[in-house]
Amino acid sequence: MDHIYQHFRNEEKQFIDQVLEWKDIVLNQYSPKLTDFLDPREQEIVASVIGENLDIKVMFSGGVQDTERKRAFIYPDYYQPHEEDFQLTLFEIHYASKFVSLQHRQVLGSLMSLGLKRSKFGDIRFYEEVVQFVCASEIADYLRANFYEIGRAKVTLKEMSVEKLIPHVEDVQEIVTTVSSLRLDVVCSAIYTISRQKIQPLITNGLVKVNWKTVDSVSFECREGDTLSVRGFGRSKLVSMEGKTKKDRFRVIIHKQK
């Protein structure tokens, strides 16, 4: 068991235990298991843990191929999975777009104010005045009956085929730089060109996430592949570490969303 944990951070142990429990359910009951929506890091963990077993397999889907948040479908090797197994529903939000401008945080906040967990929702996407979101089909009827406003704006939902989810377009800037250490405050300071004195309070106040989880320790050590986000400054990814310079600094390549 310990050989699994050694590949992950200590704070990920609880989720790994959950994945191991899902695996045991599928092995013991010999029937599939559908999870809630997982962020990309959680998907990596599930794929890694399940991948060690030849008797069961895993697939992911969030509606279309480029979705960020996806449900995992863990199944015995005899089972042939279908897209319907993921139980996904796509809603388009209709609102008075001439008078109201919606933002991601407003949509998500209003959805969760209904007493629903974030894990019941997939991607929320915008294109000009069109707003769509994916949810678990088991809450679709509840949303139809109870989701009718975002802030003070009245809204209605129209169910769409999941294949019609708005395409995701990511525009990133590649940054090649060096850092004195891989501490979270040092890395964020280099990415967002903010002094460590200014970035540290953002971290300790819970405004910084690593791999979609809040991290409030300035000395948290970043790793290659980590996705970082600072509220108000955007998201970035530590794509690779290219060794050290003669001055013993880490050379890193960053992809920062524009």
| 117-130 per-position pLDDT tens digit | 999 999 999 988 89
Q: Judge contact between 242 and 252, C-beta under 8 A.
A: yes
Q: How far apart are CA 24 and CA 6, in angstroms?
A: 20
Half-sphere exposure of 200 (CA within 13 A, CB side): 7
Q: Judge contact between 24 and 226, C-beta under 8 A.
A: no
Half-sphere exposure of 98 (CA within 13 A, CB side): 0
pLDDT for residue 7 = 78
Final residue of a domain: which of 137, 164, 191? 164
pLDDT for residue 52 = 66
pLDDT for residue 11 = 87
pLDDT for residue 3 = 72
Residues 192 and 146 in one domain: no
Q: What is the pTM of this model?
A: 0.84
Residue position matching structure tokens 């970043």: 222
Final residue of a domain: which of 50, 66, 83? 83
- The burial class, CB within 10 Å (0-12 / 13-18 / 19+), for 203 is buried
pLDDT for residue 257 = 85
Decide if pLDDT at 55 tops 70.
Answer: yes
Separation in Å, CA 28 to CA 31, 51, 89, 166, 223: 8, 17, 30, 39, 36
Q: Is the dihedral of CA 205, 210, 212, 213 positive or negative?
A: negative
Tell which residue, 239, 242, 243, 214, has the closest CA to residue 227. Answer: 239
Domain region containing 238: 172-257
Q: Judge contact between 131 and 91, C-beta under 8 A.
A: no
- Taking residues 31-35, what's their average pLDDT? 96
Report which of residues 60 and 1 the model is more confident about.
60
Please give the share of the chain, as a percent, with pLDDT higher than 70: 98
17-20: long-range contacts, CB 8 A cutoff, minimum separation 24: 19/45, 19/46, 19/49, 19/50, 20/49
For 91-115, what is each residue's pLDDT tens digit? 999 999 888 888 888 999 999 999 9
The number of domains in the chain is 3
Residues 234 and 160 in one domain: no
- The burial class, CB within 10 Å (0-12 / 13-18 / 19+), for 181 is middle
CATH number of the CATH domain containing 188: 3.10.290.10
Decide if pLDDT at 5 tops 90.
Answer: no
Q: How far apart are CA 87 and CA 92, in angstroms?
A: 17
pLDDT for residue 123 = 96
Residues 42 and 117 in one domain: no
For 150-193, what is each residue's pLDDT tens digit? 988 999 999 999 999 998 877 789 999 999 999 999 999 999 99
CATH number of the CATH domain containing 67: 3.30.1370.160
Return all residues near 140 (Cβ < 8 A) that are at least 6 apart. Answer: 89, 91, 159
Q: What are the backbone angles phi and psi of residue 139, rounded to the nearest 5°?
A: -110, 5
pLDDT for residue 8 = 85
Decide if pLDDT at 26 tops 80.
Answer: yes
Decide if pLDDT at 237 tops 60.
Answer: yes
pLDDT for residue 1 = 54
Q: How far apart are CA 257 and CA 252, in angstroms?
A: 16
**Mean pLDDT, the chain, integer:** 93
pLDDT for residue 100 = 84
Final residue of a domain: which of 62, 83, 104? 83
Residues 159 and 184 in one domain: no
